[in-house]
Chains A and B, each alone.
Chain A
Amino acid sequence: QSVLTQPPSVSGAPGQRVTISCTGSSSNIGTDYTVQWYQQLPGTPPKLLVYGSDRPSGVPDRFSGTKSGTSASLAITGLQAEDEADYYCQSYDTSLSGHYVFGTGTKVTVL
């Protein structure tokens, strides 16, 4: 039911830069609403990582979010072993009276 599409997996060696894409449409990412990114470690609830182009206090600046047109991306620079987790994008969709949508999720593996 996800309307935001992410690659199932991405991987990289420690220290490398990886990006995760999130593809939506004109009614969600293509609007003025921000795109959020969440990190989920096994057995734990999602943690807000990026909202728009900002980060909550305590989130390293290795994580950054961008948006262009109907797509968004999360970049992780200086990949670390502790970054191995599932990542989800999220936006607001203006269709059907308005509702929130999450991405399909991406598993990041540190080689």
Chain B
Amino acid sequence: QITLKESGPTLVKPTQTLTLTCTFSGFSLSTSGAGVGWIRQPPGKALEWLAVIYWNGDKRHNPSLKTRLTITKDTSKNQVVLTMTNMDPVDTATYYCAHRRGSASSGGTFDFWGQGTMVTVSS
């Protein structure tokens, strides 16, 4: 059974850097085709994909946020970390991590999601 759980601060100040950790079980990020992605959702708004890291270390980022995002993995700890720099109130959202299933380092689907963690950006 695949499970994922997000952890990190609930409140960050403008200009600060946000660091979120996704801890997962039920799969290995060293298995061919596996990936973990981050998706966020501002209150009352649509989902926005942020970044993904694949089993082979390949990464993709949302082009509009690419300069602010870093995604890394620790396969031995079953964790994926997302950092987002220069946080702004518009970044207030629920942040989800999700298991990505596919056969290559492109395409695929997010088939299991964490419960999400709400992050508020305010001074």
Contact B46 A104 (CB under 8 A): yes
B102-122 contact mask (Cβ, 8 Å, vs A): 1 or 0: 000011111111111000000
A51 close to B106 (CB less than 8 A)? no
What per-residue 1/0 map shows which CB atoms of B50-92 lie under 8 Å from chain A?
Answer: 0010000000111110000000000000000000000000000
User: Could you say which of A15-23, A73-81, A91-99 contacts chain B?
Assistant: A91-99
**A101 in contact with B49 given A45-B113, A48-B109 (CB within 8 Å):** yes
Chain A contact residue count (CB 8 A cutoff): 26
Q: Report which A residues bind B (CB closer than 8 A).
A: 1-2, 33-34, 36, 38, 45-48, 51, 56, 88, 90, 92, 94, 96-105
A43 CB to closest chain B CB (Å) equals: 10
Alpha-carbon gap, A97 to B111, bound state (A): 23
CB distance from A93 to the nearest CB of B (A): 9
Chain B's interface size range is 20 to 34
**Which residues from B are CB-within-8-Å of A56?**
111
Q: Does B24 contact A (CB under 8 A)?
A: no
Given A96-B63, A99-B61, A100-B37, also A36-B109 (CB < 8 A):
yes
Query: Is B29 in contact with chain A by the CB < 8 A criterion?
Result: no
Instruction: Across the interface, name the chain A residue whose C-beta is closest to B6.
Output: A45
**Quick check: A99 and B47 within 8 Å, CB to CB?**
no
A residues in contact with B46, CB < 8 Å:
2, 88, 102-105
Q: Known A99-B62, A99-B63, A100-B37; judge A1-B48 contact (CB<8 A).
A: yes
Q: Are B39 and A102 in contact (CB under 8 A)?
A: yes
16 interchain pairs, CB-CB under 8 A = A2-B46, A33-B107, A36-B109, A45-B116, A46-B39, A48-B109, A90-B109, A92-B108, A96-B63, A98-B60, A98-B106, A99-B60, A100-B52, A102-B48, A104-B46, A105-B47
